């Protein structure tokens, strides 16, 4: 029998055993050992043959060969490739919970067991994709792309990647919620023009970084724009490069455009893709900017003219029938300049990123919005927390007043025409303490002061518990406070540098 480039002779005594094992596999395909879950004919077939020969010879089979991975040995062999809480991958990445799942795999929150002290620095996002025979690995493309972005700013960071016999995975920076989730959670139908313009600048910068290394995203949308964590809570990143494709290639030290296909497969989302994608044209840099623009209009208006339509032909017809003026009827006037520029671009033409940045920045300046102002979802969350604190304070005041009333002695009711007694005098006329009396009055002891401090601290703790409960419901996917301190200057945000939008790093 031939395995790879080598020939292995199977003794006749093993023939019947091997044949029975094949029959057993076909009868019960759910059985995994000694075959791979992909079936009889797979890349791991030699491994299965080694196990069969070892068992038939009366010898104890040794451990399976090491994984064809860049990350070293691992110890996970879960049948359904669904990592449970506490599962450790590669003796390093401990699963805490699943963040989400899709057609291409699942994403998990993991903790780096080799990380030093610091909760924020030890949490990462692990993206896993099962290996299915005959199916192209999407995760491999994403890993290759992230390696090209390693020297770029304002982009996701790849920390680790490996391939196992049954799946591939990569570990990347853990970010906060995406813009679509934030809009839904804060129950705002629309965002303000200033907030949308800031989102557009961050998204434009992130997409430009991708273009400068020769790739187009092909699936830009609010769900693929995420906020940072901790001090980067007001930085927005463009993520999920599973549908990205090279538009530029390097040959002989020179870069040139990849020739466009006559008919390209559909990639992206019907709602946010450019009109060219519906005609199955090759996607270029212009098409990513179409998606950025559609995303901004959706956040600004809360809808698009084709929202609610599910058939592609109807969506295409709606996009073609809607004029730029109709689409931007409620948008700032600067947005029309941007859309006219994007519409004029050809497949190989370089977009004027600086023009788009200048128009969005002009909107911010006109509306007197800065990069350090809270986003719309931050304002809503802050008001919710303030409201919960006021409710907590009023609740404590109500309870304290009831306790004080219970401690007080009941006063006799005063009848009309009756002589007022001491108790009535205490209610009608508050006693005034002179300076001499205040000096002679005994001061509260240390024990009384401690009791007072304890009661105040208990009230504060009670308020904190209510606030933390409110924050927990607002942010289920983050582990740090999304509020960030205001920096002293704008240079800390790379998106505020106009020169960064004017540079042509790729030369196309």
φ/ψ bin of 270: left (φ > 0), alpha (ψ from -120 to 50), beta (otherwise): alpha
Summarised one tens digit per residue, pLDDT across range 482-500 is 223 343 334 356 667 899 9
What pLDDT was estimated at residue 358? 97
d(CA 492, CA 487): 7
Regarding the domain with residue range 179-377+492-502, which homologous superfamily does it belong to in the CATH classification? Transferase(Phosphotransferase) domain 1 (1.10.510.10)
d(CA 132, CA 285): 32
Residue for token digits 């996970």? Answer: 76
Which is nearest to 279 in space by CA: 316, 315, 254? 316
What pLDDT was estimated at residue 381? 74
Residue for token digits 């992909």? Answer: 38
Active site residue 55: no
d(CA 189, CA 173): 30
Q: Model pTM greater than 0.85?
A: no
Structure tokens at 187: 């129950």
Q: In whole angstroms, what separates CA 345 from the centre of its chain?
A: 31
Which is nearest to 111 in space by CA: 102, 121, 103? 121
What pLDDT was estimated at residue 448? 52
What pLDDT was estimated at residue 103? 72
Tell me, which fold does domain 88-173 have in CATH?
Phosphorylase Kinase; domain 1 (3.30.200)
Exposed, middle or buried by CB within 10 Å (0-12, 13-18, 19+), for 188? Answer: middle
What pLDDT was estimated at residue 5? 45
Structure tokens at 88: 């450790």
What pLDDT was estimated at residue 340? 98
d(CA 203, CA 191): 16
DSSP state of 107: E
Cis before 385? omega within 30: no
- Helices 193-211 + 285-301 axis angle, to 10: 160
Burial 226-265 (b: 16+ CB within 10 A, else e): bbbbeebbbbbbbbbbbbbbebbeeeeeeeeeeeeeeebe
pLDDT (tens place) for every residue of the chain, 508 residues total: 444 444 444 444 444 444 444 444 444 444 333 333 333 333 333 333 322 333 333 444 444 433 333 444 444 444 468 899 999 999 999 999 999 887 778 999 999 999 876 555 789 999 999 998 888 888 999 999 999 999 898 899 999 999 999 999 999 999 999 999 999 999 899 999 999 999 999 999 999 999 999 999 999 999 999 999 988 889 999 999 999 999 999 998 899 999 999 999 999 999 999 999 999 999 999 999 999 999 999 999 999 999 999 999 999 999 999 999 999 999 999 999 999 999 999 999 999 999 999 999 999 999 999 998 999 999 987 666 554 444 444 444 445 545 444 444 443 443 444 444 433 333 333 444 444 444 444 455 555 555 545 555 444 444 443 333 333 333 333 323 222 334 333 435 666 789 999 999 999 9
Q: Is the dihedral of CA 320, 314, 284, 150 positive or negative?
A: positive
What pLDDT was estimated at residue 400? 52
Q: Which residues is 94 bridged to in the sheet?
A: 88, 111
Which is nearest to 450 in space by CA: 458, 439, 460, 462? 458
Catalytic residue among 80, 185, 219, 240: 219
Q: Is the dihedral of CA 476, 202, 493, 198 positive or negative?
A: negative
The DSSP string of 159-217 is EEEEE-SSEEEEEEE----BHHHHHHHTT-SS--HHHHHHHHHHHHHHHHHHHTTTEE-
> Per-domain residue ranges for the chain?
2-56, 88-173, 179-377+492-502
């Amino acid at each position: 029998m031939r395995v790879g480039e080598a020939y292995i002779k199977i003794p006749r005594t093993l023939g019947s055993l091997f044949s029975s094992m094949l029959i057993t596999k076909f009868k019960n395909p759910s059985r995994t050992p000694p075959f791979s879950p992909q079936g009889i004919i797979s890349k791991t077939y030699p491994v299965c043959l080694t196990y069969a020969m070892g068992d038939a010879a009366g010898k104890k089979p040794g451990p399976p060969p090491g994984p064809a991975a860049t990350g070293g040995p691992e110890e996970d062999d879960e049948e359904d490739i669904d990592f449970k809480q506490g599962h450790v991958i590669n003796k390093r990445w401990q699963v805490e919970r699943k963040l989400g799942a899709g057609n291409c795999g699942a994403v998990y929150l993991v903790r780096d067991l080799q990380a030093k002290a610091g909760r924020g620095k030890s949490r990462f996002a692990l993206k896993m994709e099962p290996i299915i025979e005959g199916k192209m690995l999407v995760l491999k493309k994403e890993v290759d792309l992230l390696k090209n972005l390693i020297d770029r700013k304002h982009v996701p960071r790849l920390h680790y990647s490996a391939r196992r016999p049954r799946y591939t995975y990569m570990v990347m920076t853990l970010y906060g919620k995406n813009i679509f989730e934030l809009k839904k959670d804060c129950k705002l139908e629309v965002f303000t023009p200033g907030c949308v313009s800031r989102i557009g600048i961050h998204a434009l910068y992130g997409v430009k970084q991708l273009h400068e290394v020769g790739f187009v995203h092909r699936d830009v949308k609010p769900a693929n724009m995420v906020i940072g964590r901790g001090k980067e809570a007001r930085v927005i990143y463009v993520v999920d490069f599973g549908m990205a494709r090279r538009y530029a290639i390097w040959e002989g030290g020179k870069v040139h455009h990849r020739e466009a296909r006559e008919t390209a497969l559909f990639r992206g989302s019907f709602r946010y893709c450019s009109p060219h994608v519906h005609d199955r044209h090759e996607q270029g840099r212009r098409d990513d900017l179409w998606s950025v623009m559609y995303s901004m209009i959706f956040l600004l208006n809360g809808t698009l003219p084709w929202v609610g339509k599910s058939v592609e032909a109807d969506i295409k017809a709606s996009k073609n029938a809607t004029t730029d003026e109709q689409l931007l009827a409620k948008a700032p006037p600067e947005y029309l300049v941007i859309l006219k520029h994007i519409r004029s671009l050809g497949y190989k033409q370089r977009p004027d990123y600086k023009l788009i940045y200048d128009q969005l920045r002009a909107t911010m300046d006109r509306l007197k919005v800065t990069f350090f102002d809270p986003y719309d979802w931050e304002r809503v969350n802050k008001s919710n927390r303030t409201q919960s604190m006021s409710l907590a304070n009023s609740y404590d005041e109500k309870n304290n007043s009831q306790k004080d009333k219970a401690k007080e002695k009941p006063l006799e009711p005063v009848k009309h025409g009756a002589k007022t007694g001491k108790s009535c005098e205490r209610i009608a006329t508050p006693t005034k303490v002179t300076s001499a009396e205040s000096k002679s009055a005994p001061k509260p002891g240390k024990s009384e002061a401690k009791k007072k401090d304890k009661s105040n601290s208990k009230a504060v703790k009670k308020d904190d518990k209510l606030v933390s409960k409110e924050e927990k419901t607002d942010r289920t996917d983050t582990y740090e406070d999304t509020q960030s301190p205001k920096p002293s200057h704008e240079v800390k945000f790379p998106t505020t540098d106009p020169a960064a939008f004017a540079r042509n790093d790729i030369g196309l």
